[in-house]
Chains A and B, each alone.
Chain A
Amino acid sequence: MKISFPHMGYSYIAFKWLVENMGHECIVPPEPSSRTLDLGVRYAPEFACIPFKILLGTYLEVVEMGAEVIISSGGMGPCRAGYYWVMHKYLLEEAGKDVKVVAFELPRSDIMDFWKKLRWLRKTGGISVKEFIRVFKTAWNKIMVIDDVEMRSHEIRPYEIHRGDTTRGLWTALDMIDKANTLQEIQEARVEGLRQLNQIEQDRSRKPLKIGIIGEIYVVLEPAANHYIQIMLGEMGVQTDRSIYLTSYARKNTIVNLEGDVFEVAKPYLNEAPIGGHGVNSIGETILYAKHGFDGVVQLAPFACIPEIVAKSIIPTVSKDYSIPVLTLFIDEQTGKAGVQTRLEAFVDLLESRREVRERHERLVI
């Protein structure tokens, strides 16, 4: 079967490998472009959230490219994402597209259904159970390693001497991961990719500002949806740490995971969890980034995103209590790159002058 799936950052590299090695043909979803968004906007309800629109646009594009099956995820609320597939199905039908949408509900909410769908994928691909397990494990490793190199790129970018070196280095690393086929090859690609990134010519005397990126998962994970905000900030000389990676929950060494239960952290401000999406996380993570000495936080949210609106209404208090500036960027189809850039530049200026004031005070104290 010709299978496709949503595009989320660089994860498509691993998913493509997975689909192909299960014995299917992969229709690789193109990176979301203005055409993707236009298509999505044309067929989606006006107030659907932007991830919904981009995904719908992506689905329409992959159908054009020949996809017969689209794999996506389900969910049990409390926000809209778990209902995306149902609505996407309605809309694809209405648009007269002949494509099957297969959504995986969380195994813990419907384990039978989950296994049934996995089995169907395996059987139609024609591979054995043993092979299936191996393929899965390998693909998971790919995602891990993709996240590893991406994380490193965000650490290094603010130090790069030649603008663009890091991003080029990242792509070299991703290409190597793309070509790897065994666990060993993936590890080698990782080591080599990180080595090349580390070797980029850097000015280590710089003292980059540190900004935490929080918000709704899709716009945080998909650079094309957030105007490559991490690259933009990196090239402004800012180091960014992102609260969400696909492999976050399997990591111990990231700031957000370091502190354990982010819901607990958020509790004094939002005494209910989850409220959908990353609403509660956004509050907890703002606190965590403040505690870890970050200079500021950027909250990324789709326009009219319900949980992020709840978070936004509470964040000003958190920001005051912990003395950490927060910039909220609501993203919709009208958001342009230039606008985002201007707002980020102003924000970075603000953070810089705050830092200067702080350092002057510290010098005085000494």
Chain B
Amino acid sequence: MAKIGIPRTLAYFLYYPLWKTFFEDLNHEIVISPPTTRAILDAGVKEAVNDACIPIKLYHGHVAYLADKADYIFCPRLVSVRKHGDFGTETFCPKFLGLPDMIRFGIDHLPEIIDTRVDLKKGKKELFNVFCEIGSQIGNTHEEIKRAFSKALKVQKQFDNLLYQEILPPEAMDIVFNHKPAQVSHDNCDLTIAIIGYPYVLYDSYINAGLIRLLEKENVKILTQDMLSDKTMNRQAKTLPKSLFWYFSNRAVYGGLHFMARPDVDGIIHVTAFACGPDSLVDRMVEIEARRRRGMPYLSIAVDEHTGEAGVRTRIEAFLDMLRYRRDKI
């Protein structure tokens, strides 16, 4: 049975339940990189092309960690997960499109890469074919794959449903895999803040300097775009001149627009990766719309390899003070 190396970043935060269940049901062993550490970040900075954004450098770091510990590196090429956008051509950031090649030529001594192309524009049914390809690359039969796939879908669904109940992905994973009871209580919360951004920035507490914990300690109820159903989000597409081209960016934008219209939301924080191409558009657009649509308070935080907790804390505290002041005035 093979050891499958899975980097704990990028799409991991939303799709890990699917992957893990699939591989384990096929009796493969999963080797997952630990949550981001300084060492992983440093390795990533060393391995990746120096003009890359932080998340891509981090990805290199996680892959480098796994290089001598696994038989395969699981790095599917995410091309599209739905037919969406003005021309039905929604895809992922170009760096996702070239990711398997970037690591193949960027990092020495890698084991075989599972770089199956994921293109679901033709429909969700394509996903089964994708998993057939993955399964056969690691030597499983059609029957085995079929069983593992349907089980994986179920677990993923369970995970997704937890998100819709406003549970954050890391906790939802804990519930699904470690059967920890859900223990979210918002009784003491006096503010509700929507955080938008890419899952690999929002839920990697190393790279965002513990932003979520910080907010929780401040008695803030947190919402993110990943707690919204596709249907809810896609309603926002019509309110824009044109959709963006990238799945994760569209989710962040639609999520932001949705939360702007919600009376229970006090403010929006956009967490963006320093020097991220798509975010240069996302950030300004959401900022302008927030002002135009409701005068919704908006804070943008850019994270990079030098982001310190102190800096983030100061900005968050100032933002929260402003929100509380604003609320008490009314």
Residues of chain A in range 297-313 having any CB-CB distance to chain B below 8 Å: 303-307, 309-313
Chain B 247-280 near chain A by CB (<8 Å), digits 1 or 0: 0000000000000000000000000001111111
A270 CB contacts on chain B under 8 angstroms: 98, 101
Asked if A22 is at the interface of the complex by the 8 Å CB criterion, the answer is no
Report B102-119 residues with CB < 8 Å from chain A CB.
102, 105-106, 115, 117
Chain A CB within 8 A of B284 CB: yes
The residues in B between 81 and 107 inclusive whose CB is less than 8 angstroms from any CB of A are: 85-87, 89-95, 97-98, 100-102, 105-106
Binary contact readout A28-47 vs B (1 if CB under 8 angstroms, 0 otherwise): 00000000000000000111
Q: A48-B281, A271-B101, A304-B51 are in contact. Are A310 and B245 (CB under 8 A)?
A: no
| B93 and A306 within 8 A (CB) | yes
Q: List, in ascending order, chain A residues with CB within 8 A of B101's CB.
A: 269-272, 310, 314
Q: Considering the chains assembled together, what is the distance between the CA atoms of A316 and B101 in angstroms?
A: 12
**B97 in complex: contacting residue of A94, A109, A310, A312, CB < 8 Å:** A310
Is B79 an interface position by the 8 A CB rule? yes
Please state if A80 and B277 are interface contacts (CB–CB under 8 Å).
yes
Interface presence of A87 (CB below 8 A): yes
Q: Does A317 contact B97, Cβ atoms closer than 8 Å?
A: no
Smallest Cβ distance from A40 to chain B, in angstroms?
13
Inter-subunit contact A80/B106 (CB<8 Å) = no
Residue of A nearest to B283 (CB): A45
By size class, the interface of chain B is 35 or more
Interface centre among B87, B91, B279 (most CB of A within 10 A): B87
Contact of A66 with B by CB under 8 A = no
Residue B48 at the chain A interface, CB threshold 8 Å: yes
- Cβ of B241 within 8 Å of any chain A Cβ, yes or no, is yes
The distance from the CB of A51 to the nearest CB of chain B, in whole angstroms, is 12
Residue A279, interface by CB 8 Å: yes
B63: min CB distance to chain A, Å: 13
Contacts of B245 in A (CB 8 A): 76-79, 82-83
The distance in angstroms between the C-alpha atoms of A316 and B104, with both chains bound, is 12
Measured between alpha carbons, how far is A80 from B281 in the docked complex, in Å? 8
Q: Are A309 and B95 in touch, CB under 8 angstroms?
A: yes
- Bitwise, B173-213 to A at CB < 8 A (1) or not (0) is 00000000000000000000000000000000000000000
0/1 per residue, B56-83, Cβ < 8 Å to A? 0000000000000000000001010000
In the complex where A86-B241, A279-B94, A279-B98 touch, is A48 in contact with B106 (Cβ < 8 A)?
Answer: no
- Is B288's CB under 8 angstroms from A90's CB? yes
Contacts of B53 in A (CB 8 A): 304
How many angstroms from the CA of A78 to the CA of B95 in the assembled complex? 10
> Please, which residues of chain A bring their CB within 8 A of the CB of B284?
45, 87, 90-91
Whether, in the assembled complex, A277 has its beta carbon less than 8 Å from a beta carbon of chain B, the answer is yes
What separation, in Å, do the CA atoms of A312 and B95 have in the docked complex?
A: 11
Provided the pairs A78-B91, A83-B245, A310-B97 are in contact, do residues A47 and B102 lie with their beta carbons within 8 angstroms? no
B39 at the interface (CB under 8 A from A): no
**A330 CA to B49 CA in the complex, in Å?**
13
Q: How far is B115's CA from A302's CA once the two chains are assembled, in angstroms?
A: 28
| A313 with B105, Cβ < 8 A, contacts A272-B98, A306-B93 known | yes
Residue B280 contacts which of A48, A82, A275 (CB distance < 8 angstroms)?
A48
Chain A nearest Cβ from B108, distance in angstroms: 11
In the assembled complex, which residues on chain A have CB atoms less than 8 Å from the CB atom of B85? 76-77
Judge if A276 is at the interface, Cβ distance under 8 Å.
yes
> Measured between alpha carbons, how far is A77 from B89 in the docked complex, in Å?
8
User: A284: shortest Cβ distance to chain B, in Å?
Assistant: 13
Question: Judging by beta carbons under 8 Å apart, are B49 and A45 in contact?
Answer: no
* B-contact 0/1 string along A93-107, CB 8 Å cutoff: 010000000000100
The answer to whether B51 touches A309 (Cβ under 8 A) is yes
Cross-chain contact of B49 among A47, A76, A312 (Cβ < 8 A): A312
Report Cα–Cα, A317/B105, bound state, in Å: 7
Given A48-B281, A90-B285, A275-B94, residue A269 in contact with residue B105 (CB < 8 A): yes
* A-chain residues with CB within 8 Å of residue B288 when the two chains form the complex: 90, 94
In the complex, B41 has a CB within 8 A of chain A: no
A362 contacts B by Cβ under 8 Å: no
Output the least CB separation between B287 and chain A (Å).
9
Cβ of A24 under 8 Å from chain B: no
Q: Closest CB of chain A to B115's CB: distance in Å?
A: 8
Centre residue among A47, A87, A304, A317 by max chain B CB count within 10 A:
A47
A86 adjacent to B51 (CB under 8 Å) = no
Are B241 and A312 in touch, CB under 8 angstroms? no
In the assembled complex, 23 residue pairs joining A and B whose CB atoms fall closer than 8 Å, in A order, are A45-B284, A47-B275, A47-B280, A48-B281, A76-B85, A76-B87, A77-B90, A77-B91, A78-B91, A79-B245, A83-B245, A109-B87, A269-B101, A271-B115, A272-B77, A279-B98, A304-B275, A306-B93, A306-B95, A310-B94, A312-B51, A314-B105, A316-B105
B-side residues, CB < 8 A to A, are 48-49, 51-53, 77, 79, 85-87, 89-95, 97-98, 100-102, 105-106, 115, 117, 240-242, 244-246, 274-281, 283-285, 288
Given contacts A76-B87, A83-B281, A275-B94, 16 further A-B contacts (CB under 8 A): A76-B86, A78-B245, A79-B94, A80-B277, A80-B280, A86-B241, A87-B285, A109-B89, A110-B87, A272-B77, A272-B117, A279-B94, A306-B94, A310-B95, A310-B98, A314-B101
Closest 9 CB pairs of A and B: A77-B245, A310-B98, A313-B49, A47-B280, A276-B94, A275-B97, A306-B277, A109-B87, A45-B280
